[in-house]
Amino acid sequence: MSGKLRLAEGEMARTACARALLRVGVDEETGEVLSRAVLAQRVGWCADLVAGMVATLIGEHWNTVDVQVLASGVDAGGRRLPSNAWMALRRLGWAVTAPVGVRVNDRIVRMAQEQAGRALRSAAWRADVTAGVLATWPADPRKRTPAEWDQVRAAIPGGEHLPASIIKGRTRQAATFAKVNGRLPVDVFELEGTPRIGRMLLLAACDRQQATIERCDTDPGRALLRLQLPTRPDPRGYRDWTWVACRITLPSTVPASAVLHLPTLRVTDGMVRADLAYTHPVPKAARTGHTVAVGVDWGLNTLLSAGALRLHHSGRIAALGAGGQFRAAGILAKQHRLRRQSERLHAKADTYQRLIGGRPDEQLSAKHGLLVGEIRHVSARRQNLNDALAWAAARWTVDQAIAARATVIYLEDLRSMEAKGMGRTLNTRLSQQVRGKISDRIRHLAAETGIAVVTVPARNTSKHCPQCLAPLRHCKAPDRPATSGWKWATCPNQSCRWQGDRDHGAWRRIAARGLTHQAKTVTDKTTGAMVIRTVVDTLEASAVITPTTTVKASRRDRSKTGPTRHKPTRPAPRRRRAPSPTRPHGRAGKRPEGHAPTDRRLPRAAHRHQDVNTISTPTTTGHRPRGAALGAGFHLHAHASPPRWETIPETPSDSGSLS
């Protein structure tokens, strides 16, 4: 850590992460400048050493007993285990050594123990969920009865608030295992197997003897990272480790007053990427006491619908504007195309795998390898698209709250929503929603401005009227009668008669429910997120929005009392609806107003356009002039007197006369 964070009243410390890239390094012992490829090679050597020790440590303790001991938080003597994973493993006596013939310092061992400890701690929650599902195995795994749901929730710690989709996912996983092996798994460790070890360096577990990071004094947007790296893949002694200095360009999202922490290094595509953690002060988000709130409703093509409400001192709730929508139909359609492409590639890869059948075939193996690479490429595109969509939707939502000066964002809680019963295509599109990512990004961005994010139960938010809580009637939108679906909602209550988009009614209901249930907001112990778990009927009855009073225009009696006024079939042109004002006659005579100015300062322009924009006086009896080919002035029947210029001789116009 560089520096110390100071907090003012009403502030709290917030730790975030930013991505950076290590482009070059300098070997401090030899002064050699390390290129990007050489730096990635040396970091990769160190990451391989750490990954090997992590795999050994996890393989030794990947069982129920050891994971439960680590998750209990106390050692054999009853003392509380440290929060750092590497210190907890050392307290329990779970040691690890480097490979034979390789010399590493104690900080490298710390990184291995920290990574292994985090993986083992994360397995404890999955082990509890799987144990509860296996202990209360239902008669029909595809559909539980209400009594079986109560049993499985009671068997899982904190299961009363656990989303049903997680329990169903673990049930399907165990049912697949039973179908293949003819029996249920013993625990999650048999069901999942040893996790894959990532190649990374958790420098946060080290001290100044292994790595340091400091901001540059001259440029706060840069930082200097120093760490020890091996000079060969199998260092034989401490002389094979040297200090390497790397300059990091900090992203613009890192404040100048933030405290930097040692990053996590990863080698990806021949480049060293750093996940840089930093801590900075932010306004403290309040749990209650909100008067202006933004409600957010989830949709399919219209991914988000949001708007603001105000809670007055009298208890009246009023809407602030009509709200807005975040449409992502194009991005979701592209995501759907990539999913179908990935399914076709997986089907081809499975076919080649069956054709190979354990027999060595170079051609089939080469084709299978190409398909695997293409699958990886498509998966990366889908992941990048989801990340971009999540950040864009979260940024839009937080900007709505900032513009409305809201202090809280109420999100519809759809964790238990499953894609079923709505057709194959719609089920697939619903299952691809990135709601979890969007919620996390919204909390991340809202914390920077001190805006609280609270999840609200989604029961009947689209069913009841936001102004009288009467059941709504859904129909097709009046402006889109050919579009399938029931996007429009009308209230059958004669005293209310509210109507609008059902998503706009839903965000009103969500925000009103959140404002009236502020006292029921709690903080989840596992995730730290604010949530309203239950809906109280007495509070729900007051979650109605008072309609905005509008001044109706007075209607006069328009009944017919006389004959209809005759309107000419050919009205005057737009350019002139009133006659020209009278002007004193000058020496040049009077002419109608046309395109050319009549100022004496531009006589040539007036003379040049005189014959073009007007026509001459007819001399033939019965002749009705129809205008000119290039323009007829301001009217077809306007005639001009011949100009009389004293200072300018009569010269023929370059455009010619039309008479």
Task: Check residue 607 and give its pLDDT.
Answer: 44
CB 498 within 8 A of CB 467: yes
Mean pLDDT of 188-203: 90
pTM above 0.95, yes or no: no
Would strands 317-327 and 408-413 be described as parallel, antiparallel, or unpaired?
unpaired
Residues 317, 222 within the same domain: no
Task: Check residue 592 and give its pLDDT.
Answer: 53
Judge whether 505 lies within some domain: yes
Angle in degrees, 0-180, between the axes of helices 64-72 and 106-135, rounded to the nearest 10: 110
Judge whether 256 lies within some domain: yes
Mean pLDDT of 146-155: 92
Helix (H, G, I), strand (E, B) or coil at 243: strand
Task: Check residue 317 and give its pLDDT.
Answer: 92
Judge whether 174 lies within some domain: no
Task: Check residue 580 and give its pLDDT.
Answer: 56
Residues 523, 616 within the same domain: no
Task: Check residue 292 and give its pLDDT.
Answer: 95
Sheet holding 33-34, edge to edge: 33-34, 25-27, 241-249, 222-230, 211-215
Per-residue pLDDT reduced to its tens digit, 351-402: 998 888 877 788 888 999 999 999 999 999 999 998 999 999 999 999 999 9
Residues 307, 387 within the same domain: yes
The number of beta carbons lying within 10 Å of the beta carbon of residue 425 is 9
Task: Say whether pLDDT at 433 is over 80.
Answer: no
Per-residue pLDDT reduced to its tens digit, 483-516: 666 778 889 888 888 888 888 999 999 999 999 9
Residues 654, 627 within the same domain: yes
Residues 536, 611 within the same domain: no
Task: Say whether pLDDT at 49 is over 90.
Answer: yes
Residues 436, 487 within the same domain: yes
Which residues fall within 8 angstroms of residue 22, CB to CB, at 6 or more apart? 36, 39, 43, 225, 246, 248, 265, 271, 272, 273, 274
Task: Say whether pLDDT at 233 is over 90.
Answer: yes
Q: Which two tokens stand for residue 163?
A: 């989303």
Q: Residue 471 gets which letter from DSSP?
A: B
Tally of domains within the chain: 3
Residues 28, 75 within the same domain: yes
Judge whether 406 lies within some domain: yes
Per-position DSSP letters for 338-390, written without gaps between them = HHHHHHHHHHHHHHHHHHHTTS--HHHHHHHHHHHHHHHHHHHHHHHHHHHHH
Task: Check residue 584 and give its pLDDT.
Answer: 58
Residues 128, 43 within the same domain: yes
Mean pLDDT of 252-278: 92
Angle in degrees, 0-180, between the axes of helices 146-155 and 106-135, rounded to the nearest 10: 150
Judge whether 370 lies within some domain: no
Q: Which two tokens stand for residue 643?
A: 């100009």
Residues 316, 452 within the same domain: yes
Per-residue pLDDT reduced to its tens digit, 63-98: 999 999 999 989 888 899 999 999 999 999 999 988
Task: Check residue 263 and give its pLDDT.
Answer: 94
Per-residue pLDDT reduced to its tens digit, 578-632: 555 555 555 555 555 555 444 545 444 444 444 444 444 455 555 555 544 444 4
Per the rule left: phi > 0, alpha: psi between -120 and 50, beta: everything else, 170 is: alpha
Judge whether 341 lies within some domain: no
The number of beta carbons lying within 10 Å of the beta carbon of residue 286 is 16
- Helix ranges (H only) for 208-308 are none
Distances (CA, A) of 618 to 77, 525, 608, 639: 120, 96, 21, 9
- Helix ranges (H only) for 73-163 are 85-92, 106-135, 146-155
Mean pLDDT of 153-164: 87
> Given pLDDT bands bounded at 50, 70 and 90, which one contains residue 634?
very low
CB 280 within 8 A of CB 372: no
Residues 274, 412 within the same domain: no
Residue-wise burial string across 556-589, b where 16 or more C-beta atoms lie within 10 A, e elsewhere = eeeeeeeeeeeeeeeeeeeeeeeeeeeeeeeebe
**Single-letter amino acid code for the residue at 216:** C
Judge whether 162 lies within some domain: no
Look up the domain containing 217 and give its range.
11-137+184-283
Higher pLDDT among residues 139 and 630, named by residue:
139
Helix (H, G, I), strand (E, B) or coil at 532: strand
Task: Say whether pLDDT at 125 is over 50.
Answer: yes
Higher pLDDT among residues 278 and 633, named by residue:
278
Query: How many residues are listed for the chain in this entry?
Result: 659
Angle in degrees, 0-180, between the axes of helices 329-356 and 424-431, rounded to the nearest 10: 100
Residues 52, 114 within the same domain: yes
Mean pLDDT of 10-38: 92
Q: Which residue in 110, 75, 78, 107 sits closest to 91, CA to CA?
A: 75
Residues 245, 318 within the same domain: no
Q: Residue 518 gets which letter from DSSP?
A: G
What whole-number distance in Å separates Cα of residue 483 and Cα of residue 149? 39
Judge whether 167 lies within some domain: no
- How many Å is the Cα radius of gyration of the chain? 38
Task: Check residue 256 and give its pLDDT.
Answer: 87
Would strands 264-268 and 271-283 be described as parallel, antiparallel, or unpaired?
antiparallel
Residue-wise burial string across 232-257, b where 16 or more C-beta atoms lie within 10 A, e elsewhere = eeebeeeebbbbbebebebeeebbee
Higher pLDDT among residues 642 and 308, named by residue:
308
Angle in degrees, 0-180, between the axes of helices 36-61 and 106-135, rounded to the nearest 10: 50
> Given pLDDT bands bounded at 50, 70 and 90, which one contains residue 161?
confident
Instruction: Output the average pLDDT for the chain.
Output: 83
